[in-house]
Amino acid sequence: MGKWIFRGVMLIVVAFGAYAAYDYYRAGLHTRPDMPPGAFSISFATGMRAILVDVPNERDTRRYFGFPAEVPFYLEDTWSICSPPKMEETAEAEYFMSLRDFPGERFEVICRIQVEDETVVRGIITTVPKL
């Protein structure tokens, strides 16, 4: 009887470890670059992978939603650096938010990928309060 309990416990441990490894690779954490101090990362089911800098981490009180932009296939799984909009991007951000009039939704960051000398906008991230 003790042998079967041990086997059952080992099966649970192995299954948990396998799922943890699967989730780690699915989120792309094995390819995440070094992050600046104070930054945090989010990986969305849409494939958008974001490192947020210069914004507070409010995951305890707010839910983060990523809205990916269309990018070339080779950039879909690339980690993007996300920061508040620059002065020239503020009007575009305000226009996007005017299309989305949801209570408590807040525009957070624009995500960009640097490709050689060109910057590609990967998407945006908004937040809503956790209820």
The pLDDT value given to residue 3: 85
User: Which residue, 105, 99, 102, 103, is CA-closest to 125?
Assistant: 105
Structure tokens at 55: 């914004």
Q: How far apart are CA 80 and CA 100, in angstroms?
A: 23
130 versus 92: which is more confidently predicted? Answer: 130
DSSP state of 34: P
| Average pLDDT score over residue span 6-13 | 88
Instruction: With beta carbons less than 8 A apart as the criterion, state whether 47 and 39 touch.
Output: no
What does DSSP say about strands 79-83 and 49-52: parallel, antiparallel, or unpaired? parallel
> Three-state DSSP class for 5?
helix
Which of 131, 112, 108, 107 lies closest to 123, judged by CA? 112
Binned at pLDDT 50, 70 and 90, residue 61 comes out as very high
Domain ranges of the chain: 1-31, 35-129
Residue 108 pLDDT more than 70?
yes
Per-residue confidence band for 27, with pLDDT thresholds at 50, 70 and 90? low
pTM: 0.79
Amino acid 40 reads F
Helices (H), the chain: 2-26, 90-99
